[in-house]
Structure 1
Amino acid sequence: MFNLLKEKRLLDISGAGNPDTLRQIREEEQNRLAAVLSSSPVMDLNRDLNELHDALIGRALQLAEIEMARLGLGAPPVPYAYVLFGSGGRREQTMSSDQDSGLIYGDPASDEEAERFESYFRTFADTVVYYLIGTGYPPCEGGVIASNPEWCLPIREWERKLDGWFDEPSWENVRYLLIVADGRQVAGDEGLWERWNNRFHRDVLGHPVIARRMMENTLRHKVLIGVFGQLLTERYGESAGTLDIKYGAYIPMVNVFRLLAVQAGIRETSTIARIEALEKADILSEKEAREAIEAFSLFLMLRLMAVAKDEGGQWVGTGKFPANKLRREWKAPLKKALKLGRKLQRQVEREMRRRFGGR
């Protein structure tokens, strides 16, 4: 029955002719998933949800290509790759995820081609982003989105941008490199993505100062457990009494395993896949990997549950979970998982300082 539902969903998405239909499919599927959230294995539900997101985004790209042809602008003049960053790149989107994206396209051979390609792909990216907004994905507030000209470039310009970030490791540039580390091609030309991804991984291992700056960025979010093992809730404002699952549990663990994976040359982007790859590389023991996966799965479940519908029926999520709704049977595992997160942060800090120096 599950496979039949999945096949029907994919058929419905592939046959959708506009963003309104895509949004309706998305809402129906997310309502179905929300109904079984507390009773389903979280990793199975996460996989199903993120396959839904990928399919919807892929269809929005196809519809944008059709619209470009309808406008008389033709097919893409050169291959392109559409890339997801953030939770999309990690295959960890919730029901309220926004758009974190970039677009890479083939190099022009002349100034005339450069102008023509730029005009085409900026219009195309604007159309894709508009369609995805219509499907229920708001744009990234930080501007990491394909409709931003800084994130829609030919491959050669992307490589120059990477070089600039590596050569000038300011806080902002290191943040961009960490964003790129989570990048994943969701549609288009695989060769363009592989070229850019190879450039990133080749250069990141050759810049010790980058590793140190990545560590500083990685450790800035503290785990929400106190020195006496108590859960730390928000104290003020509308969020008072909530647990900041996103920034006090989920993001710290994402950050730790991203840094460990990047430094080990591992190219997986999902946190679970990174943990498994680190175990295979003998960087984590079997016990450490098992405990990390258990902890992260709990964080992921609570993050998915920290999403609800607003008065207009739109899925919204702050990443904050009311402490008074935390089930009794979750409290001990959550404290254990948070202690592990804090331990991992300290271990990473010690190891990175030993290898690369710093304060």
Structure 2
Amino acid sequence: MSSLHKEKRLLDITGAGDPGSLRTIREEEQNRLGAILSSSPVIELVEDLNELHDSLILRALKLAEIEMARLGHGAPPVPYAYLLFGSGGRREQTFSSDQDSSLIYLDPQNEADALTFENYFQTLAQITVGYLVDIGYPPCEGNVIASNPDWCMSISAWERKLDSWFEEPNWENVRYLLIVADGRLVGGDEDLGARWNARFYRDFLGSPVIARRMMENTLRHKVLVGVFGQLLTERYGELAGTLDIKYGAYIPMVNVFRLMAVHAGIKETSTIGRIRELEKAEILSSEEAKEAAEAFELFLLLRLMAVTKDENGQWAGTGVIHASKLKGEWKVPLKKALKLGRKLQRQVEREMRYRFGGR
């Protein structure tokens, strides 16, 4: 996309005065990007799409601040940070991604401030999430969202929560740690975001139990390729003949490189970025990084294609694509990419068991 178009789009977004206007901009831009999906380099298109999402979220946050002032709550009483998780944190949102977020604010100095800050920021988060729903971003089904008080807290409360997850590494807490490993600041105070991020990485490498549990969670989604290299499609029901691109290709690759990056102390959150940083750290060879990036780009493309419009013209993600819709020239690269994904899962499992023990 030309720089002039980007500048105009950003001006349109920053000048929008309500969620309805932002929704119109989003729909127009996504229709434009959808029309050039098959003819554009997928990484460039994904970057463009995620720049759009970030700009819309930032404007929704600003509109929420304006609404708070209009309601008599004033400006934010202290600095705060708004973080994205999931595909938003990884800069890999599609045309239909939902909201996974949290809000962190500076610590209060006394009990009166504590109540004031809590009321202000929980209300701000609720308004922001509501605006984003209006723009077309549904809330996270798992309730990992800033409007949930469990994900809207002071920085000290957040640090205690992170510590508690590390201290009690049950399945659910490890799942949360994997979620926050993709956390990325999208708006607000950079220092708060950096402090939160530093807490996550502080004791990570010294916890073999966490390492084993993360490996078990990471490997639970298997790559959809058979022992003879055949594509494993759904056999029964209304999804018969389809490939689960999200959970059978994309997520396994996301999980592998998240685990590798986190254990190397790499703080990059996008999967392509993690592959590049792993190559720089000489954990991946140049050839391995090239193969992994090519495989992941194909998964990104197919994931974008596994999105349709519903009867109201709204984008809806299915995560699956019918095998009959795969272009002939994609089938061999897809099988190769899936075999690589399976190989990487086995390699990571061996390395983690060697380093941290377990069955």
Q: TM-score, normalised by structure 1?
A: 0.99
Distance 1:268 1:194 in 2: 12
> 1:193 aligned to 2:193?
yes
Q: Which structure 2 residue ranges, 5 or more long, are not aligned?
A: none
Match of 1:12 in 2: 12
How many equivalent residue pairs? 359
Once the two structures are TM-superposed, the CA of residue 188 in structure 1 deviates from its matched residue by 0.1
- Give the letter aligned to residue 292 of structure 1: A
Per the TM alignment, residue 63 of structure 1 is displaced from its structure 2 partner at its CA by: 0.2
Q: Deviations over 1:26-48 (max 9, x none)?
A: 00000000000000000000000
User: For 1:107, what is the secondary structure of its paired residue?
Assistant: coil
For residues 5 and 239 of structure 2, the distance between their equivalents in structure 1, rounded to whole angstroms, comes to 38
What is the CA deviation profile of residues 317-359 of structure 1, one whole-angstrom value per residue up to 9, with x for unaligned ones?
Answer: 1210111100000000000000000000000000000000011
State the AA in 2 paired with 1:247.
Y
Q: Which residue of 1 aligns with 2:128?
A: 128
The residue identity in structure 2 corresponding to 1:199 is R
Cα distance in structure 1, aligned partners of 2:142 and 2:74: 31
- Paired residue for 1:95? 95
Matches within 5 A, 1:156-167: 156-167=156-167
Q: Which stretch of structure 1 is more off in the superposition, 311-320 or 89-98?
A: 311-320
Distance 2:239 2:168 in 1: 37
Corresponding residue SS for 2:235: coil
Are 1:356 and 2:347 counterparts? Answer: no
Q: 1:21, 1:132 → 2: CA distance?
A: 12
Distance 2:236 2:17 in 1: 46
Supply the AA of the counterpart residue of 1:233: T
Give the equivalent residue in structure 2 for 1:39.
39
- Identity rate of aligned residues, in percent? 77
How far off is 1:206 after superposition? 1.8
1:149 aligns with 2:149: yes
1:24 and 1:237 mapped to 2: Cα distance?
36
Aligned counterparts of 1:12 and 1:74: Cα–Cα separation in 2? 26
Following superposition, the deviation at residue 23 of structure 1 comes to: 0.2
The secondary structure found in structure 2 opposite 1:185 is: strand
Determine the structure 2 residue equivalent to 1:307: 307
- 1:179 is aligned to 179
1:159 maps to a residue whose letter is E
Q: Secondary structure at the match of 1:243?
A: strand
C-alpha deviation, 1:71, in angstroms: 0.3
CA distance in 1, matches of 2:50, 2:239: 28
**Residue in structure 2 matched with residue 213 of structure 1 by the alignment:** 213
1:133-181 C-alpha deviation (Å, 9 max, x unpaired): 0000000000000000000000000000001000000000000000010
Provide the residue aligned with 2:250 in structure 1.
250
Residue 200 (structure 1) shift: 0.4
**Whole-angstrom distance in 2 between the partners of 1:182 and 1:232:** 29
Separation of aligned partners in 2, 1:206 and 1:53: 36
Output one character per residue of 1:211-240: Cα deviation in whole Å (capped at 9) or x when no partner: 110000000000000111110011222222
**Could you say which residue in structure 1 is the equivalent of 2:292?**
292
Q: Which residue of 2 aligns with 1:69?
A: 69
Q: Distance in 1 between matches of 2:323 and 2:51?
A: 30
- Give the CA deviation at 1:241: 1.1
| 3-state SS in 1 of match to 2:203 | helix
Task: Report how far residue 2 of structure 1 moved.
Answer: 1.5
The SS at the match of 1:97 is coil
Give, in whole Å, the separation in 2 of the partners of 1:4 and 1:128.
29
Aligned to 1:277: 277
| Cα distance between partner residues in 2 of 1:218 and 1:127 | 34
Question: Whole-Å Cα distance in 1 between the matches of residues 160 and 141 of structure 2?
Answer: 25
Conserved 8 A contact 2:182-2:269 = yes
| Alignment match, 1:318 | 318
Correspondences of 1:225-240 after superposition (within 5 Å): 225-240=225-240
Alpha-carbon RMSD:
0.6
Match for 1:25: what amino acid? I
The alpha-carbon deviation at position 21 of structure 1 amounts to: 0.3
Separation in structure 2 between the aligned mates of residue 350 and residue 206 of structure 1, nearest angstrom: 19
Q: Does the Cα contact within 8 Å between 2:224 and 2:232 map onto a contact in 1? A: yes
CA distance in 2, matches of 1:257, 1:348: 9
Q: Distance in 2 between matches of 1:159 and 1:95?
A: 33
Residue 266 of structure 1 and its aligned partner are, at CA, apart by: 0.2
Which residue does the alignment assign to 2:330? Answer: 330
Consecutive aligned runs of 4 or more in structure 1 exceeding 3 Å deviation: none
Residue 347 of structure 2 corresponds to residue 347 of structure 1:
yes
2:160 partner amino acid? R
Amino acid in structure 2 at the alignment position of 1:255: N
